Structure 1
Amino acid sequence: MNSFAIIAASGIGKRMQLKEGQSKQLLSIGGYPVIHHTIRAFQQAKSVTAIYIATKEENIPTLEEMAAKSGFTKLKAVIEGGKERQDSVYNCIKAIEGQMRTSGTAPDTILVHDGARPFIQPEEIDEIARLSMQYGACVPANRPKDTIKYIGTDPEFFGATLERSRLLQVQTPQGFSSSLLVQAHEQALLEGWYATDDAALVERFFPEQPVKIFETGYHNIKITTPEDIPVAEAIYSQITSGR
């Protein structure tokens, strides 16, 4: 299996309440930057042969140096991200297409991951890649612990309660056949349509395409707010103690 990974790490981290010049991808968890844990998981995944990262321009030298020091040999390019997450992913897609023209080979699947999700495990990545190849698209998710409600027509009051047994919290990496992901992003670019994840693009432009569910645990959190840091430290401690 030949899977390429795109890691979107250009977020400015508004909800992290960062000091000027800080980046949430470079915050320390267990003595390593968040993005270090993320890259390492894809480096160790057997299905992944190439990694592309989109980040803020000022972080490019730092990530390239980190990769060299850490032996992240699968990292092929660190490029500047776009205005929105979707733009950053598309920038990486264009870089992958350039590599494909040079080598003459294409990946079977492309996995798109949030740089601020440091605890995805290599074996989970491999399974998502396998299911993506089998079904064309695969998205990891877990079941919500809380009851979820709609906001009513009056935004100060609740509307309906959703049936929790039919709800899932979507995560990354989301995997797709390479041609499917490229076509979805190109169509979105043509229409100027933006979504919060790549699966939504596929759902919109290829509604006949099934998206396989891969249920995960609750360890694959996204570092979003200051409260996530101690939680991440606890998850890291639990993961490393089991190695």
Structure 2
Amino acid sequence: MTQPRRLRTPRPLGRAAGVVLAGGSGTRVGAGINKAFLPLAGRSIAGWGLNTLAAVEGIGILVFVVRPDDLEHARFVDSRETEHPLEIITGGETRQESELLALRHLADRIDTGAVDTVLIHDAARPLVSHGLVSAVLHAARETGGAVPGIPARDIAAAGPGQTLAPSTDLRRDSLVRVQTPQGFHAATILDAYEAAARDGFVGTDTASCAEEYTDITVTWVRGEETNFKITYAQDLLLAQDVVSALGLRTG
């Protein structure tokens, strides 16, 4: 990571906030640092998603949520890899706590209407496209909540023991593999997370908390196969291949 310091430009006007979560580790990737800060074709894994969200019209704020031990890495990303300033905060012990802290960080601006929509994205999904982020933002503003999803036609139902259940037991056309960013009406999702904190409810992702504590019918837009999550070393190798194949640039 030896990029020269970038010229900073003012954030574009926009009432949506992008939140990028980088609370993972590098254990399963086989790295000694948080995988979000591993290099991928000229910038960190986290830097890819941050720059994509920053380029989407309508997103005016970027919040980068990291572990306390990763603050130095995050400041490097902010100063050397992103074209627009980041608001860096430390997260909690769980994903949901980190999301809540990000929403509380935005609470004053949500209350005044300066932020009307929040998109929450995993830093470990570096190759999310500009078009997909835009589609989620548009759908979230239209319906109150939206997520990207890939039809899960490769899923089978487990039967007794180690058998597979008959295919009639599972409607594959009704299942999707959910990705990020997940977008929601800001005031509604903030209230939902505060209620979940009071109740001790822990969801699997942002959408599960919305489904539990709001009346929003979460919609889904078509996700992208390239918007995969980097979990293992082979995922990082695949991401490098995708960057090369698609001719993606770091700046």
Please report the TM-score for the alignment, with normalisation by the length of structure 1: 0.88
Runs (5+) with no aligned partner, structure 1 = none
Mapped to 2, the partners of 1:151 and 1:191 lie a distance apart of 34
* 1:99-128 per-position Cα deviation (integer Å, ceiling 9, x unaligned): 557xx4431210010010001112221221
The question of 1:198 aligning with 2:206 is answered yes
Q: Is the 8 A contact 2:107 2:190 kept in 1?
A: no
Mapped to 1, the partners of 2:166 and 2:199 lie a distance apart of 32
CA 112–71 in structure 1, closer or farther in 2 if over 3 Å, else same: closer
The question of 1:87 aligning with 2:97 is answered yes
Mapped to 2, the partners of 1:81 and 1:241 lie a distance apart of 30
- Does the residue aligned with 2:21 lie in a helix, a strand or coil? strand
Q: Give identity over the alignment, percent.
A: 23
Q: How far did residue 61 of structure 1 move? A: 2.2
The question of 1:174 aligning with 2:174 is answered no
Q: Which amino acid aligns with 1:85?
A: R
Match of 2:216 in 1: 209
CA 36–218 in structure 1, closer or farther in 2 if over 3 Å, else same: same
1:106-185 matches, within 5 Å, as 106-150=114-158, 152=160, 154=161, 156-159=162-165, 161=167, 162-185=170-193
The question of 1:239 aligning with 2:250 is answered no
- Does the residue aligned with 1:219 lie in a helix, a strand or coil? coil
Match of 2:31 among 18, 42, 50: 18
Please report the TM-score for the alignment, with normalisation by the length of structure 2: 0.86
Q: Which amino acid aligns with 2:41?
A: G
Deviates more, 1:140-149 or 1:191-200: 140-149
Mapped to 1, the partners of 2:199 and 2:154 lie a distance apart of 36
1:32-71 matches, within 5 Å, as 32-71=43-82
CA 99–65 in structure 1, closer or farther in 2 if over 3 Å, else same: farther
Q: How much is the aligned-residue C-alpha RMSD, in angstroms?
A: 2.1
Q: How far did residue 240 of structure 1 move? A: 2.2
Matched residue count: 235
Q: Which amino acid aligns with 1:91?
A: L
* 1:183-227 per-position Cα deviation (integer Å, ceiling 9, x unaligned): 111111011011120100111122x32111101220100001112
* 1:48-93 per-position Cα deviation (integer Å, ceiling 9, x unaligned): 1001111111211222232222343242x21111111011111111
CA 32–242 in structure 1, closer or farther in 2 if over 3 Å, else same: closer
Q: How far did residue 157 of structure 1 move? A: 4.5
Match of 2:4 in 1: none
CA 173–99 in structure 1, closer or farther in 2 if over 3 Å, else same: same
